Structure 1
Amino acid sequence: MNNSKNDRLLLFINKILLSIIVIIVVFPLLYVLLASFLEPNVLLSKGFSISASDWTIEGYKRILMDGTIMRGFFNSILYSAGFTIVTVSVCVLAGYTLSAEGLVGKKALMIFFLITMFFNGGLIPTYLVVRDLGMLNTIWAIILPNALSVWFIILARTYFKAIPNELKEAARIDGASEFKIFLKIVLPLSKPIIFVLALYAFIGQWNAYFDALIYLDDRELYPLQLVLRSILIQNEVQPGMIGDQLAMAELQRISEIIKYSSIVLASLPLLIMYPFFQKYFEKGVMVGSLK
């Protein structure tokens, strides 16, 4: 295909803009990754260094030896995996039900769900419900309150409506029940949207800390993001708090290198997951988001 002069100019401008965006996105990530292996004093005084003596893995050693950070890491995996399983299961079942032809009250149900996207009871009533159900300081306080996502239901419902109805009718003629149709026909055809919802749910829960801050008092149950929050925000060293300046400088050095190493550790599960989900991501989003 021969592009016109204007087309070539437009493509060139697009490449320049995309390159700038990639640099803006990649540079902070690369900076944090390299900073996690550099001595903080070297990083602050002369920036990046290629000298082997200026590189260290002390931050990662301290993280692996620190029970709080590793416990938070495994807690986050548990919360995110549990939340993903519950959310995807609930939303896929609700989306399939609402996609059924001839469902009585389907429009009323959708309106009911849509209202909850814009209005909710607020923090205090939600906290009281969680407390009265006995879920405070349990994994269920993290998983259940936000398990139902109306947006996920809409994506799943739209995807299921795109599946040819003739497949279901043929199965019904052969005597298959509705549950068997869903399990044997619909689910195998729905891998793209299921993986997309799973990725969204896992990332959302992995990055969340507010629910844990509200519902969890036991520090043994803190997820990684809440541990990182305490490292990055709450544990700032004030000059007047420590009399020994050498001790304060060493504490600041250790705190600085642990910050960068912890951020890299928190990003690893998402970086590992995405390549496996990528082949489903574009198809699932496009088909599930278009009616």
Structure 2
Amino acid sequence: MDNATQAASPQTRPTPRKRGKLNMADAVIHFILAVLTLATLLPFYNVVLMSFSTSVAVSKQMVYLIPTAFDLSAYGYILHEPRFLKALMVTLFVTGVGTSVNMLVTITGAYVLSKSGFPGRKIVMGGIIFTMFFNGGLIPFYLTMKNFHLINNLLVMVLPVAVNTFYMIICIAFFRTLPGGLEESAKIDGANDIQVLYKVVIPISMPMLATITLFYAVDRWNEWWYGVLFMTNVNLLPMQALLRELLTNYQQVLSSITTSVSVQNSDLQPEMLKMAVLVVSTLPIACLYPFLQKYFAKGVMIGSIKG
């Protein structure tokens, strides 16, 4: 036993030394990542800080890391806009319904096109890829939407963008990597193609699908161009289009506001309004990231390896 203990002791002695080297390496890596994280978060922190600062602090460039004052004039200006709640409801509708339509069309289309036995698959794929490089132009597109009676219709921000070609190609590439034996075993048990898709394929594709869902949700949340292009009724503008209008015409609109005491008694600076608009437009959709972070990281990795 003594010989065994002596023989084992040389093997266990270097362990603390190796563990110390590993901790030092981890400390260096964590320090570098912390510096990079701070460099990434600092601009966002500065944006939030400026949105809550006073006009004096902003004009004198006193807003850096530590708050010097607190003022809600910029947010009061945005929230006292009569159309803000309507625009928010429009954006929530476009994000919810639009993302659902996006995922339905993308998943079903990608699943069908991932099958090599699908007749005319190459022709359909060629037509899909063609749309990535060419389009019919703005005027024909507008006339098409007009012929479909989608002017001043919220569906104009949903149906024309029902599928993103790039996202569909990612789904197709991922579906091709799934083992064919899973689908065959499900069909032997009596499942049809729709049941195979929704009970077998989708559950094992959740990381990739969650990532695509997040991409689509961000796209729909940031929708403003179709609102400006096809909405002549100002009450149907999405929130991003309304915020853009506030930024563009804030001096004229500000002079017309007579109901907000906080806005009347403060000297609202353009930078304050810009930063408040950034916070209002990005904060709600940013709240989705913590809930989808696990799937998001895994889905990006899967797409990079198997796509």
TM-score by length of 1: 0.83
Paired residue secondary structure (1:253): coil
Provide Cα deviations, 1:25-61, integer angstroms capped at 9, x if missing partner.
323211110112111122212513655xx31234334
Q: Which residue is equivalent to 1:245?
A: none
Q: Max radius of gyration: which structure?
A: 2
Distance 1:125 1:19, change over 3 A: farther
- Greater shift in the superposed pair: 38-47 or 199-208: 38-47
Q: Which residue is equivalent to 1:25?
A: 40
Unaligned 5+ segments in structure 2 are: 1-14, 19-23, 253-262
Deviation at 1:194, TM superposition (A): 1.6
**Does residue 1:267 correspond to 2:282, yes or no?**
yes
Q: Which residue is equivalent to 1:90?
A: 105
Name the aligned partner's letter for residue 60 of structure 2.
S
Q: Which residue is equivalent to 1:56?
A: 71
Paired residue secondary structure (2:53): coil
Q: Which residue is equivalent to 1:177?
A: 192
- Greater shift in the superposed pair: 83-92 or 95-104: 95-104
- Greater shift in the superposed pair: 207-216 or 24-33: 24-33
**Does residue 1:285 correspond to 2:300, yes or no?**
yes
Identity percentage of aligned residues: 29
Give the count of matched residue pairs.
274
Deviation at 1:105, TM superposition (A): 1.9
Residue 41 of structure 1 contacts residue 253 of structure 1 at CA under 8 Å; is this kept in 2? no
Partner Cα distance (2:155, 2:42) in 1? 38
Q: Which residue is equivalent to 1:164?
A: 179
**Does residue 1:117 correspond to 2:117, yes or no?**
no
Q: Pairwise mapping of residues 1-291 of structure 1 onto structure 2 (< 5 A)?
A: 22-45=37-60, 47-48=62-63, 50=67, 54-236=69-251, 252-253=267-268, 257-289=272-304, 290-291=306-307
Deviation at 1:14, TM superposition (A): 11
Name the aligned partner's letter for residue 112 of structure 1.
G
Residue 247 of structure 2 contacts residue 273 of structure 2 at CA under 8 Å; is this kept in 1? no
Paired residue secondary structure (1:117): coil
Partner Cα distance (2:67, 2:220) in 1? 37
Residue 35 of structure 1 contacts residue 43 of structure 1 at CA under 8 Å; is this kept in 2? yes
Distance 1:122 1:273, change over 3 A: same
Residue 231 of structure 2 contacts residue 237 of structure 2 at CA under 8 Å; is this kept in 1? yes
Distance 1:134 1:220, change over 3 A: same
Partner Cα distance (2:41, 2:240) in 1? 22
Residue 40 of structure 1 contacts residue 257 of structure 1 at CA under 8 Å; is this kept in 2? yes
Partner Cα distance (2:155, 2:93) in 1? 11
Partner Cα distance (1:276, 1:14) in 2? 24
Deviation at 1:125, TM superposition (A): 0.9
Partner Cα distance (1:64, 1:234) in 2? 16
Deviation at 1:262, TM superposition (A): 2.7
Unaligned 5+ segments in structure 1 are: 3-7, 238-247
TM-score by length of 2: 0.79
Name the aligned partner's letter for residue 176 of structure 2.
K
